Structure 1
Amino acid sequence: MKFVARLHRPSIRSAPKAFGDTTELVERLAEELQAIKPGWLAEDLVLATGLGAAVSLALVLSVLGVRPDLIHALGTSMFWVKLLYVLGVGVIGLFTVERLVRPGGAAKGRARWLLIPLAAIAALAAAQLDVATSGEREHLLMGASASVCSLRILGFSLPPLAGLFIAMRGLAPTRLGLAGAAGGLAAGGFGAAAYALSCPEAAGPFVAVWYSLGMVAAGALGALLGPWALRW
């Protein structure tokens, strides 16, 4: 079983008086090492994201309220498709962050998993557009809230993004822009999930375009802020 060691700086009183004695200094530093339980890093990131997502949900409920037909929507497949899509992006983004906050951590393998929800929603959107008439296609794509959907998702992504960045600052990311982008994408997914409880749009093309655009915007914001906010 692998353990991550956290080094606590020894106090001045406990440090060797003669720092020229390298062996004694190394031994004293080794005594300060403490084993950290496996999984503590992921737990911290999940907790920070969860707290931020809870704030987003509270904001959605207080500012917009839930959609009036929520009980009926819970019985429809498209409501769950939309929710699973954005949550899938959020979870995969969070797993990517967990790898990127390790010094030199490679995240390509985890980031590739994003292709699954993206391909699924794109295929659904294409199928719905294919069977729709020309007049129906515009409504499937634009709905009634295309002008505000992406901006709202970006806004509701800010609390989980802030929580993630606070947690990430205490870790050791080396590619700050990439780590910030992954954090923004994760926050975008959870912000979109909170917004989904208020948004009545359920068409595949609408979700594929405007929900995706909102999450990508959150990822872009994270990429811009990462080099500044995550510097250590």
Structure 2
Amino acid sequence: MKTMELVNMLAAGTDDRAGAGQPGVVRHVATRMALALALGLLGAALLLAILYGVRSDVRQLLLAPLFWMKVSFPLAALLAGQVAAARLARPGVRIGLGPAAALLLPPVVLWLAGGSWLALAPPSQRLELLLGSSWEVCSLNVALLSLPTLLSMLWFMRGLAPTRLRAAGAVAGLVAGAQGVLVYSLYCVEMAPPFWGVWYVLGVALPTLAGAWFGPWLLRW
């Protein structure tokens, strides 16, 4: 398909007043994003296995309610990021107030949970809850595991002719960071919401900033 044909096809489905847009456009965007996320997840899982490994008690971990509370943050951020990415990948489409608010909701809820956790903890334990045993490497590990998804999401974006390049790159990085946290959760031993609210959020912020920085160059078409 020629570039201008693709642009015209995608632009035809960008008018929010027209409802959901053309079914063909929606299927094309969804299929391309699913492929990008699958490739990124596979790459992150391989990196995790090679560099860190998976916890030996992963079966018991999956039965712990606190583990599912931990992964609810990256899952919510990932879902919100997909909605925003599907919009910003198309030419001329703004992110919209609803998707933008959805992007902010996961960290805000996590910060509220972490703040409540700290408020209920004895003062002598609060610093330990914030730093855990891996604060020096946690955010960098998340950022490293996000790289495969960042590359695949930039491929997804570039193929759909985005025009808001910095915002599109930032959302690609946010999706990558959320998926990086999700994969890293199978290795990370930290189980305190205050820790997640600082170092997991920072781990997502790093690829988000990288995507915003490199987006105008890598997504130009």
TM-score range, shorter chain: 0.7 to 0.9
Alignment correspondent of 1:16: none
Q: Does 1:139 align with 2:131?
A: no
Q: Distance in 1 between the 2:35 and 2:72 partners?
A: 20
Matched with 1:156 is 145
Of 177, 184, 187, which residue of structure 2 is paired with 1:195? Answer: 184
The residue identity in structure 2 corresponding to 1:68 is: S
C-alpha distance in structure 2 between counterparts of 1:140 and 1:203, whole Å: 6
**Is 1:7 aligned to residue 29 of structure 2?**
no
- Partner of 2:110, secondary structure, is helix
Return the offset for 1:47: 1.2
For residues 105 and 38 of structure 1, what CA distance do their matches in structure 2 show? 14
37-46 or 139-148, larger mean C-alpha shift: 37-46
Residue 19 (structure 2) aligns with: none
> What are the residue-to-residue correspondences of 1:165-180 with 2, within 5 Å?
165-180=154-169
Q: Which amino acid aligns with 1:120?
A: V
| One-letter amino acid of the counterpart of residue 128, structure 1 | W
The aligned runs of 1:8-157 (5 Å cut-off) are 36=24, 38-108=26-96, 109-157=98-146
- Counterpart amino acid of residue 150 in structure 2: L
Shift of 1:7: 2.9
Deviation, 1:139, is: 1.1
Instruction: Quote how far apart the aligned CAs of 1:68 are.
Output: 2.9
Q: CA deviation at 1:117?
A: 1.6
Equivalents in 2 of 1:136, 1:226: separation in Å?
Answer: 41
> Structure 2: how far apart are the matches of 1:123 and 1:132?
14
Shift of 1:51: 0.9
The one-letter amino acid paired with 2:136 is S
Displacement after TM superposition at 1:36 (Å): 3.6
Corresponding position: 1:230 with 2:208:
no
1:106 is displaced (CA, Å) by 1.5
Partner of 2:210: 221
Q: Output the CA distance in 2 between the equivalents of 1:206 and 1:131.
A: 15
The two structures have a TM-score, normalised by structure 1, of: 0.82
Q: What secondary structure does 2:203 align onto?
A: helix
Deviation of 1:148 (Å):
0.2
Contact kept, 8 Å, 1:93 with 1:111, in 2: the verdict is: no
Q: CA deviation at 1:171?
A: 1.1
Give, in whole Å, the separation in 1 of the partners of 2:130 and 2:49.
Answer: 26
Distance, in Å, in 2 between the alignment partners of 1:141 and 1:46 is 35
Structure with a larger share of its residues in helix: 2
Residues in 2 aligned to 1:110 and 1:94: alpha-carbon distance in whole angstroms: 9
Cα separation, 1, equivalents of 2:85 and 2:56 = 35
Q: How far apart in 2 are the matches of 1:164 and 1:135?
A: 43
What SS does the aligned partner of 2:137 have?
A: helix
Alpha-carbon distance between aligned partners in 1 of 2:30 and 2:93, rounded to the nearest angstrom: 14
**Over aligned residues, Cα RMSD in angstroms?**
1.6
Specify the SS of the correspondent of 2:136. helix
Query: In 1, Cα distance between the equivalents of 2:160 and 2:103?
Result: 24
Q: Which amino acid aligns with 2:76?
A: G
Cα distance, 1:116 vs. partner?
Answer: 2.5
